[in-house]
Copies of this chain bind each other. A is one copy, B any other.
């Protein structure tokens, strides 16, 4: 293994600052900031156990959660033809968003472009049109077998959008993702303990700094390709310490080797000050996860092939988040 670069001797704050200075700026930064401002200011967070509240004013929600979902890319060329990607369908984040909405949360869904979307998980991947047919009057029909699921999806999705409970923000590269995370978390900081971060995105560990990146497509005529990639600064540390220090923070640890999984999850819990690290293995991430906290470990298993593991997971997290908010500020009832 190579010796660590000089970056390893800098503080996490310095590393993060250097990363952002060198990153290509988010193209639609102003539009994102405006939509976030409109979204965050429109909620009253209701105390646990209180009703939805009647009358006018902003809708009452159980909390606001930022769900990150899908993998980030690392461009290898400035005019990007090739990039390194991280395996993630976005299934976990999309399913979790549905259950957070069901639990009364407002959700900022920070997702990889083209990844799985909430209420669309049932869609056949490459044959969307197989879901539809034309009736005798050439009206659009859904085959009998799918009507229930498609109708439920349309109605749940419409409700979330119409009530302003779901804000979708897309990213592709690691540069876009981390800038979005910073924007969302600093905007959500005003929610204090009522804010939650549920970081299920598969974030690149290595990247090519923009200024050292090839400008044009790398040519293949010159024989094998040698690449050196730098470590991405650990932004969860910055999120916890600077961007939204009071929020309830959940991160994920994915490994392929079960022998090191729990130990790595525990290290992340300590190092980044997470409230929960959800440990999962690539081979069975849909069937079982382990929630690692400072007080112990809880295994969550899917009950059957028809159930979503996320239903139980979100149930447990919502309860823990509610305790977190109560302990932090027992009198709060805004």
Residues in chain A within 8 A of chain B (CB atoms): 1-5, 8, 73, 76-77, 79-87, 111, 113-115, 117, 119-120, 123, 125-129, 132-134, 138, 140-142, 147, 150-151, 153-155, 157-158, 168, 170, 202, 204-206, 215-218, 220, 222-231, 254-257, 282-283
**How many monomers of this chain does the complex have?**
2
Which of A83, A119, A215, A230 has most chain B Cβ within 10 Å? A83
Contact B168 A154 (CB under 8 A): no
Given the interface contacts A126-B113, A216-B256, A217-B255, does A158 sit within 8 Å of B134 by beta carbon? yes
- With a cutoff of 8 Å between Cβ atoms, the chain B residues found around residue A217 in the complex are 254-257, 282
Residue of chain B at shortest CB distance from A84: B84
**What are 22 A-B contacts defined by CB distance under 8 Å?**
A3-B223, A4-B224, A76-B84, A79-B283, A81-B87, A81-B282, A114-B114, A115-B126, A117-B128, A126-B168, A127-B168, A129-B153, A132-B154, A133-B154, A138-B155, A140-B142, A140-B147, A140-B154, A217-B256, A224-B229, A224-B231, A226-B228
- Cα A115 to Cα B117 in complex, Å, equals 16
Given the interface contacts A117-B128, A154-B133, A170-B126, does A227 sit within 8 Å of B224 by beta carbon? no
Contact B129 A224 (CB under 8 A): no
Contact A85 B87 (CB under 8 A): no
Tell me the minimal C-beta distance from A51 to chain B in angstroms.
Answer: 27
Contact A1 B128 (CB under 8 A): no
- With a cutoff of 8 Å between Cβ atoms, the chain B residues found around residue A157 in the complex are 129
Residue of chain B at shortest CB distance from A89: B114
- Cα A155 to Cα B132 in complex, Å, equals 10
- With a cutoff of 8 Å between Cβ atoms, the chain B residues found around residue A126 in the complex are 111, 113-115, 117, 168, 170
